[in-house]
Amino acid sequence: MTTITLELPDALARRAGWAARALHRPVEEVIAAMLDGVLPVLDDVPAEMQAELVEMTWFDDKALQDIAASSLCDADQRRLVELGARDERSEADRRELDALRDRYGQVTLRKARALALLSVRSGKGLLAVAEAA
């Protein structure tokens, strides 16, 4: 375990203290748990997406809601289904399918990160995403 000293705005320190008292936990444990929830684990994330996922921590709720509601465009979704359903594929089709799967994975990682951040931010943003769906 590493010990660090943080300077927090008074209002944030009060909120952390309230949460700690409500949970009957030490304030250090509450802050560590919140950091663990906000900072993404990047072990399995493609290198080209790591900085983007970390930067999302500073996005406002509206930007995160937009990401959470995003998906592949209709044409890409249709093509992904079409290529995935084929029993035999040309080399060009295999490359296209791999690229579409990569794009789908990137969209999914962004959505998951946005939803995780909205959840940590008291869930208000999640309600807006659910109501929009």
Over residues 75-98, the mean pLDDT reads 93
Question: 95 and 63 share a domain?
Answer: yes
* Rounded-to-integer distance, Cα 20 and Cα 13, Å: 10
Average pLDDT score, the chain: 88
Question: 49 and 31 share a domain?
Answer: no
Question: 59 and 122 share a domain?
Answer: yes
Retrieve residue 118's tokens. Answer: 């909205």
Question: 58 and 93 share a domain?
Answer: yes
pLDDT of residue 37: 76
How many domains does the chain contain in total? 2
Over residues 7-19, the mean pLDDT reads 91
- Is 69:131 a contact under the CB 8 Å cutoff? no
Retrieve residue 112's tokens. Answer: 């998951």
pLDDT of residue 74: 95
Question: 57 and 74 share a domain?
Answer: yes
* Rounded-to-integer distance, Cα 47 and Cα 30, Å: 30
pTM exceeds 0.75:
no
pLDDT band at 131 (very low <50, low <70, confident <90, very high): low
Retrieve residue 127's tokens. Answer: 């309600």
Host H or E run for residue 14:
helix 10-23
Question: 25 and 82 share a domain?
Answer: no
Domain residue limits at 68: 42-132
